[in-house]
Amino acid sequence: MSLPVHLVPSLDGVAPGSTVAVTGDEAHHAVAVRRLRAGEQVVLTDGVGAAATGAVVSTGKRVFEVAVDDVRHEPRPEPELVVVQALPKGDRGERAVEVLTEIGVDTVVPWAASRSVAVWRGERAARSLAKWRATAREAAKQARRTWHPQVAPLASTADAADLVADADLALVLHEDATTTLSTVEVPATGTVVLVVGPEGGLTDEEVTGFVDAGATPVRLGAEVLRTSTAGLAAAAALLVRTPRWG
């Protein structure tokens, strides 16, 4: 059985024999909801490559302490995979973030595409971004990731094109593309950017802009997937051809 994972701000300087205090909402959920008790084994991670395993030695209302037995540091996975995700409607955005996090995507960029049904403005934008980030955080713990993904601020099409231009490989999913994803050579290092359009599809101007920035339009197959599942399928198809899954 996998040990429960809890996120802490930092594990800098932590070594076997150290005691680490987990506080705030993270501790409250563990103690009050999960009924964490002294003696249980847990894993602590800082989300940037470090993980510490140890036993709970004490619990309080919003705190618990762990005596560390083992600490490991994992290198950042390569290649870095960035998914530019057009805003889906309803709760499909959180679903997309959840599954992308579970399979190992490094950065999720919410994108206000021309045909996105959902619109993030003002307070709604702040709330929606917070939901995406909370979803990524919880999914990363569930997936036992030591490197947690980043959820970037809302991007415009110009922002997304800049990410494409800086990538070592950039792909844009498009149902009319003549190149299939399975034929694309994926680099073992660097940054791979995958652009996933909205339910209404990409506009010609968006496709042209991404191609001009260096992206290759690709398709998965004959089926047309929802935007909330297309990223998952494409990211998995890419990862299986990298050292991360190879």
pLDDT band at 127 (very low <50, low <70, confident <90, very high): very high
Helix (H), strand (E) counts: the chain: 6, 11
Look up the pTM and report it.
0.94
- Does any domain span residue 246? no
* Number of domains within the chain: 2
Residue 31 per-residue DSSP state: I
Task: Please compute the mean of the pLDDT values over residues 119-132 and round it to a whole number.
Answer: 94
**18 lies in the same domain as 110:** no
Residue 190 per-residue DSSP state: S
In sequence order, the 6+-apart residues with CB closer than 8 A to the CB of 51 are 5, 11, 43, 44, 45, 71, 72, 73, 74, 146
CATH for 233: 3.40.1280.10
Tell me if 114 sits within 8 A of 206, measured CB to CB: yes
**118 lies in the same domain as 215:** yes
Domain containing 102 equals: 80-239
**pLDDT at residue 153 is higher than 70:** yes
Q: What is the pLDDT of residues 205-231, one digit of tens each?
A: 999 999 999 999 999 988 888 999 999
DSSP helix, strand, coil percent of the chain (3-state; round to 5): 30, 25, 40
What does the mean pLDDT of the chain come to?
Answer: 96
**42 lies in the same domain as 94:** no
Tell me if 218 sits within 8 A of 180, measured CB to CB: yes
Residue 90 per-residue DSSP state: T
- Does any domain span residue 245? no
pLDDT band at 27 (very low <50, low <70, confident <90, very high): very high
Which ranges of the chain does DSSP label H, i.e. alpha helix? 24-28, 92-103, 122-142, 157-166, 204-213, 227-239
**115 lies in the same domain as 168:** yes
- pLDDT for 1 equals 66
